[in-house]
Amino acid sequence: MEKRRIVTLIAAVFILTATVVFAAGSGENEEAQYPKGNLDFVAPGGAGGGWDLTIRTTAKVLKDTGLVKVSMPVRNNPGAGGSVHLTSLQEVKGTARTITVYSPPLILTNLNGTTEYSYNDVTPLARLIADYAVYVVAADSPYKTMNDVMTALKKDIKSVKIGGNSSVGSMDHIQFLIMAKAVGIKNLKEIDYVSFDESGSAQVLGGHIDLFSTGLSEVLGLIESRDLRALAQSSDHRVGEGIIAEISTCQEQGIDATFVNWRGIFGPPEMPEYAVSYWRDIFAKMVKTDEWKAARKTNGWDDAYLDGPDFKTFLGEVNEEYKGVLSDIGMLN
Amino acid sequence: MPGPEQARQIFIIRGEKLSVSLITGLITFITGTTYTLIAMNLPAAPLGRANEPKIFPVSLGILMIILSFLLIAQEMKKRASKDNTEYEKAVFKIDNHIKSIILTVLNAAIYSFLFVRAGYVISTFIFVGLELLLFSGIKKWKSSALIAIIFSLAIYILFYKLLGVYLPMTPYIWI
Amino acid sequence: MESFELLLHGFTVALQPMNIMWVTVGGILGTIIGMLPGLGPATGVAVLLPLTFTMGPVAALITMGGVYYGAMYGGSRASILINTPGDGAAVAATFDGYPMTLKGKAESALAISAIASFIGGVFATIIMVFVSMPVARFAVKFGPAEYFMLFVFALAATASMTKGNRIKGFISMTLGLMIATIGIDAQSGVKRFTFNILELQSGIDFLVVIIAVYALGEVFKSFKNIAEGKKTIQTGFGKIWISMEEWKRCFWPILRSSPLGFFIGALPGAGGTMASLMAYNNEKQMSKTPEEFGEGAIEGVAAPEAANNAASVGAMIPMLTLGIPGSGTTAVMMGALLMLGLQPGPLLFQQQPTIIWGLIASMFIGNIILAVLNIPFAGIIVRVLAVPPRILYPIVLGLAFVGTFAISSSVMDFNLLIIFGIIGFVMSITNIPATPMILAVIVGSNMEQSFRRAYKISDADLSIFIASPICIVLIALTIISILFPIIKNIFEKIKK
């Protein structure tokens, strides 16, 4: 009857632990000494990716400048384009320990139906930086400007194969469609967009796709070595130095649209007011430090600081813009 | 056609002899059919060719069904040749070790319930402790408890403290 | 001989005492991480990310490199001793490594694994010194159609090479491909087989399947073995070394597998698992005694071990020369490079020769250090076989779960672990081999996506799959590998 005794034991231990756990509420008042104890910095994507890079750099600058004195360990919680972490944030509603980073996929994953949660289910603390889209072709490509590509698409919508690293309906796809929409291409749905998983630049180098829509920081090395040629970038001003500064904007080429890959810092939904004002103040100070400016330069990030409330307004605006494009291609959910 | 075929094994369930290959063929057929049906009913792609997301899954489903027929046919052929000498080796009976497996699965379900709620160290102590009891018997509970606590603490230190891998902490104790 | 001079310069960097220390630290850390289920080189390198801020770029890269191939050395330990690979690249080491252990030859298996890893790593680094740029340029010739054909070849070869009933091998493969279709389809945004579970949207991590099928599978099997009164595998231990005769059997397989592994590793998206399995299949086909494979043939350990280490070297090529990460590990390493303010790409070799050649030189040194460390280390780790199963298996179970949690910090994966553990157990009693399924889960998503990319690019014209010489070669290889047993039978009949 040994088995039965083990089963009884399992049940007993289980009930005991469950009681202890559920008895444990979280009614501490940590307002006065905030932040105290470990903070929980989370990248909603894998190690080494854009979000990871942003939040690790932020944590490092905050530590080096002494703006935040407590320890800020960074962990990764990847999955479904950041949606997995967005769901876990709902479980820590109203708490103040979790700090996370997001960018346009926060809005896109909600609009395309990946997740029910939107930018309204997080607390925007500050927009920090911007990267821009760049549209690159192989060095020997016949296309010289964005307009060449658009003309070709107008003549035959299937003639130019667009590639990107994100999936259909996500950032690399949308940032191209915004430009195509601006020049008046109607059947955006018909444009062939091929999603590659990180290896898109190899595909455009090998001539397997015609145009690669990506982030400027992803292909700096290949543009500098002149293996890839940039047709245009999506900012409203020239960025960077040297050969990067030579890349004209879409606006200069007469395409009246911009796309900003913004990255900002967020807290959990209904973050307590004392914590929100603490972080707004910290980030306002941080963006002025030399350490932050140096980090931006190293990574090729443009300054895009916006305080929490303004950031929230901005999120509302881009939400409408992305909604328009997604509904044109029938991916609005 | 055949590669080296092993001696055929059989299930003995309530005295009935059933060839493993035949059962496998049936399971494969059911898996293939179910999968194919779900795949055919996948939503259409919002842009591009509408059926594109279905092509690959449906082909896989059909391949699975074909494979199940091949397996069953192979088995029938052998049965027809009355090659029943191979039918000797019974390998599978519902006995004690199946019960142990079921208990392990239950234990794991409890573990996954407690993992975040009770924190890594405590839930692991319970999980590994119970599993040790399952393997060694209730009489050795002292050594089992000792090993379980050493294991959970050692892994906690290795993963969380040294490697910086995130593990859930126990409320109030903060380890 | 410009490369040679640069390499000498690299050695002056890599031989600085601090850098030797870093590569040793990285190598040891990597070996330990590689042995733990779920933790592979990608986690190991990610662990180092915060540290790289405080190290210089050279030290950071050297340490990460050490972790990467250290994990390749360590990864096969658990495969050989307790049949539980911690990572895809270590799966092939179970095929003959574990049978060797059961026959009491664990010492030889561990020794040949370290030796083959060493030769594979050094051989690949030599190739890298001379031809990294041409290899990178050749690798970009692989478009979606070529990748698809490569995956088809690897899968077909693995499914038809597995022991036992070949139909069951193909059933296993198909099941793996089905598992790989779970998640959001990147080419259309359609959710497939996710049953409204958010965690399933990004698909099922192949590591979870590996841990479930092997680690949980071993635990389940052990209940039966204990019930039947089987005892501890081994209690007395000999020296970790191999005999001259064993060495002779392994010499050519190692030399053939190293360049193969290097090239597969250099293809973005292919990786160490493909490399080691292809090397294994290749040796089995070429062997005069293929029936010994899977029963404890020592060259069946040597070939995949050499290949996966060579692949880890090859994988650095697209990352360093083109700025294209081909695997999870190199993606993290590239993130580290960016954080250090370095821009990977064709100009990196010219702009930062000290860093690059320092890294390459450190690969030679690191491999020597690891081989030297691993032999005595294996002497300690082999004693795990003396641990009574009633203690060993609960611990394996504990490690399997914590390793799974480390992959994506999600308890949802525990449920998958249990489900796949049960599937693995059902497969083992119905004699369906697990390996084709594992490989299919690893490459399946990539394989389908490659097909769909090619399909889109060619406007649904299937002739794209036979349009390039690379495709035609791969198709020919696939046909040969499927028909090989039949061809062999015919030849034998003719002989008679």
pLDDT (0 to 100) of residue C159? 83
Q: Do C391 and B147 touch (CB under 8 A)?
A: yes
Q: From the list B47, B126, B138, which residue is nearest A6 (CB)?
A: B138
pLDDT (0 to 100) of residue B113? 92
Portion 297-316 of A in contact with C at CB < 8 A: 298-299
SS (H, E, C) chain C: CHHHHHHHHHHHHHCCHHHHHHHHHHHHHHHHHHHCCCCCHHHHHHHHHHHHCCCCHHHHHHHHHHHHHHHHHHHHHHHHHHCCCCCHHHCHHHHHHHHHHHCCCHHHHHHHHHHHHHHHHHHHHHHHHHHHHHHHHHHCCCCHHHHHHHHHHHHHHHHHHCCCCHHHHHHHHHHHHHHHCCEECCCCCCEECCCCCHHHCCCCCHHHHHHHHHHHHHHHHHHHHHHCCCCCCCCCCCCCCCCHHHHHHHHHHHHHHHHHHHHHHHCCCCHHHHHHHHHHHHHHHHCCCHHHCCCCCCHHHHHHHHHHHHHHHHCHHHHHHHCCCCCHHHHHHHHHHHHCCCCCCCCHHHHCHHHHHHHHHHHHHHHHHHHHHHHHHHHHHHHHHHCCHHHHHHHHHHHHHHHHHHHHCCCHHHHHHHHHHHHHHHHHHCCCCCHHHHHHHHHHHHHHHHHHHHHHHCCCCHHHHHCCHHHHHHHHHHHHHHHHHHHHHHHHHHHC
pLDDT (0 to 100) of residue A13? 59
Q: Do A168 and C187 touch (CB under 8 A)?
A: yes
For residues C307 and C338, the model is more confident at: C307
pLDDT tens for residues A174-213? 999 999 999 999 888 889 999 987 778 889 999 999 999 9
For residues B30 and A18, the model is more confident at: B30
A211: which strand partners?
A162
Q: What is the ipTM of this complex?
A: 0.87
pLDDT of B7 > 50? The answer is: no
In B, which residues are within 8 Å of A13 by CB distance?
Answer: 126, 130
pLDDT tens for residues A71-85? 888 888 887 788 888
Q: Do C139 and A202 touch (CB under 8 A)?
A: yes
Chain C contact present for A107, CB below 8 A: no
pLDDT of A18 > 60? The answer is: no
pLDDT (0 to 100) of residue C409? 79
Q: How sure is the predictor about B95, in pLDDT bands with cuts at 50, 70 and 90?
A: low
pLDDT of C323 > 60? The answer is: yes
> Closest approach of chain A CAs to the CA of C137, in angstroms?
8
Across chain C, what does the average pLDDT equal? 87
Cα nearest neighbour of A193 on chain B: B48
- % pLDDT > 70, chain A: 90
> Closest approach of chain C CAs to the CA of B78, in angstroms?
14
B11: which strand partners?
B18, B92
Q: Which of C311, C376, C323 has the alpha carbon at shortest distance from C348?
A: C323
pLDDT (0 to 100) of residue A123? 94
Q: Do A6 and B133 touch (CB under 8 A)?
A: yes
Q: From the list C46, C333, C339, which residue is nearest A57 (CB)?
A: C339
Amino acid identity, position A333:
N
pLDDT tens for residues A213-246? 998 888 888 898 899 999 999 999 998 888 889 9
Q: How sure is the predictor about C397, in pLDDT bands with cuts at 50, 70 and 90?
A: very high
Cα nearest neighbour of C335 on chain A: A48
Give chain B's length.
Answer: 175
Which range, A33-37, A201-205, B29-33, C130-134, has the best average confidence (pLDDT)?
B29-33
Q: From the list B9, B28, B167, which residue is nearest C431 (CB)?
A: B9
Chain B contact present for A19, CB below 8 A: no
Q: Do A52 and C336 touch (CB under 8 A)?
A: no
Q: Do C175 and B64 touch (CB under 8 A)?
A: yes
CATH number assigned to the domain with residue range A40-130+261-328, chosen from the 4 options 2.102.10.10, 3.40.190.150, 3.10.20.30, 3.10.129.10: 3.40.190.150
CB pairs under 8 A between B and C: 185
pLDDT tens for residues C163-176? 778 889 999 999 99
Q: Residue C456's domain spans which residues?
A: 2-495
Q: Which of B60, B56, B71, B70 has the alpha carbon at shortest distance from B23?
A: B71
Q: Do C409 and A195 touch (CB under 8 A)?
A: no
Peptide bond into C325 cis (omega under 30): no
| Least confident interval from A6-10, A223-227, C180-184 | A6-10
Chain B contact present for A284, CB below 8 A: no
Q: How sure is the predictor about A265, in pLDDT bands with cuts at 50, 70 and 90?
A: very high
The domain tally of chain C equals: 1
pLDDT tens for residues C226-277? 777 766 667 677 777 888 888 999 999 999 999 999 999 988 877 888 899 9
| Least confident interval from B54-68, C232-246, C285-299 | C232-246
Domain boundaries, chain A: 40-130+261-328, 132-245
> Token pair for residue A202?
């190899």
pLDDT (0 to 100) of residue B89? 47
pLDDT (0 to 100) of residue B125? 94
pLDDT of C13 > 50? The answer is: yes
- Strands A74-76 and A40-43 come out as parallel
> Closest approach of chain A CAs to the CA of C268, in angstroms?
7
CATH (residue range A132-245): 3.40.190.10
